[in-house]
Structure formats: structure tokens, C-alpha cells
Amino acid sequence: MPNFSPEQELLFATAREVAHERIAPIARRAEETDEHPGDLIELYTELGWPSITKPQAHDGPGGGVTEWCLLMEAISEVSVASAHILTQPSIYLLVDLLGSEEQKARLFPLLDSRWSCFMASEDGAGSDVGAIRTSAVEKDGYYVLNGHKAWASNANFAELFVVLASVAPGTGAAGLRIFVADGRETTGIQVGPPERLMGLRGSAVCEVVLDNVEVPAENMLVGRGGGTRDFVEFMNATRPHVGAQAVGLAQNAMECALRHTRERRQFGQPVFEFQAVSHMISDMAIGIEAARELVYQASAEFDRQGPRRGELAAMCKVFATDVAMRVATDAVQCLGGSGYSRDYPVERMMRDAKVLQIYEGTSQILRSQIAKQVSRRIT
């Protein structure tokens, strides 16, 4: 592991133990039924993990992106879907980044007792957030929101909805603002059924329709002047946690491949002894080690608000998720026919790894962003 403080090392060790002993059985059930695991939410709440990033100034643990990543890596060793459900730390980070002191004092207590979801994507606006059509029209001290959101994680049980919308439709990214809608205080939020996904089973993402949803003007977060600047800074905070999910998944996939190839014998020797197989394991270990270092370099850069936080966040997300996809695919190959069977976990890891290359910025769009950032920094 990278150079962590004793407190961080203890957090990871504890989270890893909880993941293997308590989360894994819940994750296996959710994988089979594809039903949302309410008892997992109860467990996370009991452990205090949803508020890991709540600032100490507001009576929180005071963890940063690094602590959140440690939780993500540990949980993802047993289930990326279970890690994906733990999005609440991102909203604490968002409010801390962009909220005024008055907003923090008012919104943090709501987050303590209610789960939230962040809604940016739309059918016609994924990587291109400037194409967002959800509108926010000011009226009598409120903003009235109308639009359709897609891929909203945890929307099926959330009570706070954090929405990226435009106060000036047709102006592109410049008109974007972030709003916090309280599902208990407003009407018009219509959540559709969970999407049927290739992976992430038990972790719900839904379509959400906003029909004249009234949000008080004081619930608009404008920390850096609105536009894409606020959204990009939020992504700089969240992308390392996807990299951490990838590292956890890849670590488990490699260990499954290693155990199987050491135990299974062909032609009078363990499969692991064949150079073609042992070199696959070697490449897995190299990639995982490099990905882990990059993820925690990026998380530390964000926590200290370093100048390269956006560049490193994108780099770690691209590199770690590509590693996870490659490791999971090779793990299936190492297990042979067994790897393609649902009796073994690597086929699930292969399905889950794919989405890591897509959400929070696709690998393709992030590579374009990285090229521009590197060019600016070097020239």
C-alpha cells in the first residue's frame, strides 16, 4: 500500500474485514436476486461510512477523498455493486466544496439522516454536459426544474436529489448550476424502475423525471461561479474513487486466478507453472500495483487541493479501470471453462469491470482531456 497514516491503515484494515465478513454475503444475495439490499444501507449507516467526508468543523470524521477511496477499494474486493451504492460521501464533498457556510450548516444535517443521489446525465447529454436540457427557471424565490435525468444512482431510495440543470437553456455549459432538491419538501420528482444492467446487480440506477420541481433559491450551489467549473471540480473529487473500485476488483480477480491456477493441474503440473499463465499473473500484479499508486497520488493531490488534481484524477480513472478490465478478462481466461461459469466470481468481475470504464467520464473522453492538460502544463 502507499504511504498512509496509521489512522488510514486502520480504516482500510477494518473496512476490508467488514467487507469480507459482512458485506460479501449481502452482495452474493443481491447478485442472485438483483434486488436492492436494504440491509447494506443499514450496515453502512451503522458504521458511519456515508459521512466519512463530512468536515470536522461540522462534527464529522473529517476524511477526504483518500479515506473514501480506501473504503471503495476494500468494499470492491468483494463487490463493486456494493461499493457503488456508497455514493453519499460524494455529496458531503460537493456541499463542502461549493456550499456557503450557511448552506453547509443547513444541508449537512439533512445528509446525516437522508440518502441522496446526484443527477447529471441525460439521454442526450453524457460526456457533453453542455448539452444538458434540464431547465431551472427562477420564480418568486424558487427555481422550477423540468427535465429528464438518466442513470441516477440510488434514486430509488434517495430523499435528496442533487441536480445539474441550466438556468439559461441554449447557452451550453455556461448556464449550468447545481441544485439540491428535498424530496420531502417538493413534488414532481418521479423515479422510474431500476435499469436492467449487465453488472452492478443490486445497485440501482434509474431514470428520473423532474416535473415543475420547486427548489428554494438558497439551495443552489455556486462555489466557483457555476458553469462547468463547479461540475469539473466535483468530478475531480469523484474520479479517484472509481479508480479505487477498479483496484479492489482487480486485486480480487488476480487472487482468484492465482488460487485456481496453483490448485488445478494439467499435464502433470499446476497450471500456474506454465510460463504463459504465470506471466499473465505477473502482468496483473504489475498493473494493480501501478494503478493503486496512481489512485492514491490523485486522491492526495485533491485533498491538498494541488494544481494537478484534475489531471491526476482523470489519469488514475483511465489507467485503473483499464487495468481492472484487463485483469478481470485474463482471470476468466486463467480459469478456463470455469471462469465462464457463474459458480465462480470472475465472470461477475468481468461484467462489473466494464462499467468502470464508462461512468464518471469514459476512458475516451478522459484521454482527450488528459492530452489537453498535459499540453498546457508542459508548454
User: Annotated active-site positions, please?
Assistant: 360
Query: Residue 293, class by beta-carbon neighbours within 10 Å (0-12 exposed, 13-18 middle, 19+ buried)?
Result: middle
Which among 326, 327, 351 has a CA at the least distance from the CA of 257? Answer: 327
Output the DSSP codes for 347-376: HHHHHHHHHHTTTTS-HHHHHHHHHHHHHH
Residue 63 one-letter amino acid:
G
Instruction: Compute CA distances 318 → 79, 136, 241, 242, 251, whole Å.
Output: 20, 33, 12, 9, 17
**What is the three-class DSSP state of 150?**
strand
**Rg (the chain; Cα; Å):** 21
**Distance between CA 17 and CA 232 in Å, rounded?**
34
Q: Which of 51, 24, 22, 26 is nearest to 38 (CA)?
A: 26
